[in-house]
Amino acid sequence: MLNSKLVGASVARFGIAVILGTALVLAGCGGGDDTPDDVITDNVAPDEVASDDITSDDVADDSVRPDNVTSDEVTSDAVTSDEVTSDEVTSDEVTSDEVTSDEVTSDEVTSDEVTPQECDTGYVLEGDDCVDIDECVLGTHNCPADAVCKNTDGSFECECPAGFVWEGSACLDAAKWVVVTYFSGGIGMLDTDTMILHGPFLQGKLGYEGNMDVVVTPDGKTALISATENRFIYFVDISNPKEPSIKGNVLMPINPSGIAISADGEYAVAFGFGQHVVVIDIEAMSMVDLFDLAKMGFGHGELAPDGTVIISSFGQQSIGVLVLSENGELTFSGSLDLTEYALAPADIAVAPDGKTVLISGMQDVNSATKHPSQAPEVGDTPSFQLMVLEITSPGELEIKGVLTDIPRVVQSVAFDRAGRHAYMLGCGSIGGAAKKGLEEEEISGLLMVGNIESPGVFTFDSSRSAKLQSNSPFVLYSFNSLVVRDDKAFVGYSFNSMFGHANSAEFVSLVDLNTFVVKRVPVPGAVTSLARVPLNTTPANVLEGTASCVGACFEPSFFLGFNVAGFSHDQQCFCDADCALWGDCCDDYEDACSGCDPKTCTGGAVCVNSSDGYQCGCPQGSHKNNEDRCELDDVCGSEGGADLCGPNATCENQEVFGGHMCFCGEDSVWDGISGCMCALGFEEDGATCVDINECERNLHDCPEGTTCVNTPGWYRCQSPAP
């Protein structure tokens, strides 16, 4: 399916162009040069009206009169009422007296320049007739190489490849939505056209703490979210980005952190803390295979399109390679010992070519014993490794080289859609920075760039990077916090608040990949992971209108949960009412948000900066009581509150998570959907949950020669005493 759009401007813009063109000059459509001959249309019209938009068809003498020119439509420097006085301005009547702007002199505007025999733009005079120019045949179109030119009567169209839309000069990625997970639960939906973050949605439904990774199925309809602490993987229907809903969940035998989805969208592979790599059937929302990592310890990993699964064990300095079969089974292929490179693997990424693999090292090349969370000394130049490998066939990897001059630990990698560039989010260190007298800059995060020349051939481009907020390298979590769409990168990963670091503002950074200028968009919570949503069947413009603005900048919180965001109930937008975009409003974010002092407001109220100073108010989910203090709303005790948590669960009012949290009894967990369920390794026995004896029931997977020993919630395999 091809997407196409007419070349040129929107209808609304066209209308303005018509009015101006007619009222003032009525010349033909000039070019864009500022030569006196061409000045006529360009200089009298406002900047935003391109001369291309005006065709002589639209500039018919009697179709538009100056009466139609209102002050709203014409900016003052383009047309003032003094300049246009006649009710009946026609081309013959435009004289030097009527057009007095400095830029247009009488010499330039004469009726001689309008040749009656001229054809409209897009047509050419043949004999006495104006006939369409076939721009596609003549090669005078401006469609890019990846678009197809289609001739139309009087113009032409550029048809972009599937998944792209024509935006007047280029084919742009039509997939604009990005899913954002908040560390403390819930998701947001980021519209990357407007940079408006919708939500948070499903607060408290996706676990209460430690939401790590999010991935989206190739059809763009389902997001899989790892709730690390709560041991669930949740399936969220995002086919309507404005109303995400939970489809189901799977309780995991590990604390899942990273998830990868197979190329066909059938299986998800989950990595995390625990002994297993887990395969999930996405359609059935159930586990289909477990791979026991045994001695490898916990790992994290990535899945290539051909089914190659790469798992890293930083402790062992090795990589394990598995293959995911078509029916969802994992088989061991081999392992690579990296001790000779002294590489402790951190992040793994597979390029769109399906062959190039990047594995970052987490230890400073110059001081390999130092953990990256330790601050560098003044004068240190941190330097980290990046190993480049190539997948030669499913389950087979070849090391192509190791770069040793990467200035940060690479934590997340995103590729452009052509697969030529790798954008890498690298984290510095925040540990003890203040003590060691380091400047923020020296430990900043970096968005770095590499080029993929051909499969397995990678070069690092040290000339291009963007400085980002400093961030602790959480090397063990293997979630992805970087999305690239066309020439913009969106970066999350703001864990600093966990450490009470001064730079704990929570935001998504927007990086222009041409200029590497960074804009920061404040968000209500620490963002762990971002995932691009491939186009689905829902129209891309499902959202009508935008969020309402409340005229205040978001004050970042040191508290991990959702809070404040002032007095907005939708928590979507905190700009002045006349700000079109967050980005614009919050350009001056730090300055604008510097008015509040933590001591300004009392009684539990929070301070929110606004355009005319600041306001004190109770955080969302609370209200001012008779003693002038903020008090939590009684969500659990309110009407319907008893049903919020389902049977057997206890409801507790909370400042976060939609005002309440649900707690279950011993050995059971709240599933976020319908109530309490037995924790993994336990089963229902009447009203309680009891341990499953895997050994007795032969449900264990202990290797031969070992003895199964039952434990509460699981089992272990004991080797015979030597």
Q: Which is nearer to Ca ion, 133 or 484 (CB)?
A: 133
Q: Judged by CB, which is closer to Ca ion: 302, or 691?
A: 691
> Residue 404 interacts with Ca ion (CB under 5 A)?
no
Helix (H, G, I), strand (E, B) or coil at 1: coil
Judged by CB, which is closer to Ca ion: 101, or 151? 151
CA dist 643 → 195, 605, 663 (Å):
36, 30, 13
When binding is defined by CB under 5 A, the residue of 476, 710, 716, 717 that contacts Ca ion is 710
Assigned token pair, 48: 């935003």
Q: Are 675 and 689 in contact (CB under 8 A)?
A: no
Q: Which stretch binds Ca ion (CB under 5 A): 16-24, 54-62, 155-163, 494-502?
A: 155-163
Q: Which pair of structure tokens corresponds to residue 217?
A: 């199925």
118 vs 633, which CB is nearer to Ca ion?
118
Of residues 63, 84, 61, 60, the one with CA closest to residue 74:
84
Tallying the residues shown for the chain, one arrives at: 722
> Please, what is the minimum distance in Å from the beta carbon of residue 136 to Ca ion?
8
User: Is 691 a binder of Ca ion (CB under 5 A)?
Assistant: yes
Q: Could you tell me the smallest distance in angstroms from the CB atom of residue 51 to Ca ion?
A: 18
C-alpha 289/C-alpha 269 separation (Å) is 9
Residue-wise DSSP of 628-651:
S-EEE--TTTSTTGGGSS-TT-EE
Q: How far is the CB of 158 from Ca ion (least distance, A)?
A: 12
Task: Please state the closest distance from residue 706 (CB atom) to Ca ion, in A.
Answer: 16
The least CB distance from residue 27 to Ca ion, in Å, is 22
Choosing from 91, 110, 151, 648, the residue that interacts with Ca ion (CB under 5 A) is 151
Binding mask 252-291 for Ca ion (x = CB under 5 A): ----------------------------------------
User: CA-to-CA distance for 564 and 571, rounded, in angstroms?
Assistant: 9
CB of residue 649 vs Ca ion: minimum separation in angstroms? 24
As a whole number of angstroms, the distance between CA 187 and CA 246 comes to 11
In the complex with Ca ion, the residue whose CB is nearer, 121 or 472, is 121
Least CB distance to Ca ion at residue 287 (A): 17
Per CB under 5 A, which of residues 156..215 are in contact with Ca ion? 156
Taking the complex as a whole, how short is the minimal distance between the CB of residue 121 and Ca ion, in angstroms?
10
How many residues bind Ca ion (CB under 5 A)? The answer is: 5
CA neighbor of 78 nearest in space, from 50, 41, 105, 44: 44
Which residue number, 42 or 691, has a Cβ lying nearer to Ca ion?
691
End-to-end CA distance of the chain: 66
Nearer to Ca ion, 28 or 456 (CB): 28
Q: How far is the CB of 682 from Ca ion (least distance, A)?
A: 8
Residue 91 binds to Ca ion (criterion: CB under 5 A) = no
Residue 59 or 678 with smaller CB distance to Ca ion? 678
Nearest by Cα to 155 from 247, 57, 263: 57
In angstroms, the CA 449 to CA 270 distance is 27
Which listed range, 126-134, 225-233, 351-359, 424-432, lies at the site for Ca ion (CB under 5 A)? 126-134
Task: Please identify which residue in the block is written with the tokens 């015979």.
Answer: 720
Kindly state the smallest distance separating residue 215's Cβ from Ca ion, in Å.
30
DSSP state string for 446-461: EEEEEEEEETTEEEEE
Based on the shown chain and the rule CB under 5 A, indicate whether residue 132 belongs to the binding site for Ca ion.
yes
Show the tokens assigned to 254.
Answer: 């590990």
**CA 227/CA 401 separation, integer angstroms:** 35
Residue 118 interacts with Ca ion (CB under 5 A)?
no
Point out which residues pair with 127 in neighbouring strands.
Answer: none
DSSP per residue, 90-115 = -GGG--TTT---TT--TTT--GGG--
List residues near Ca ion by CB under 5 A.
132, 151, 156, 691, 710
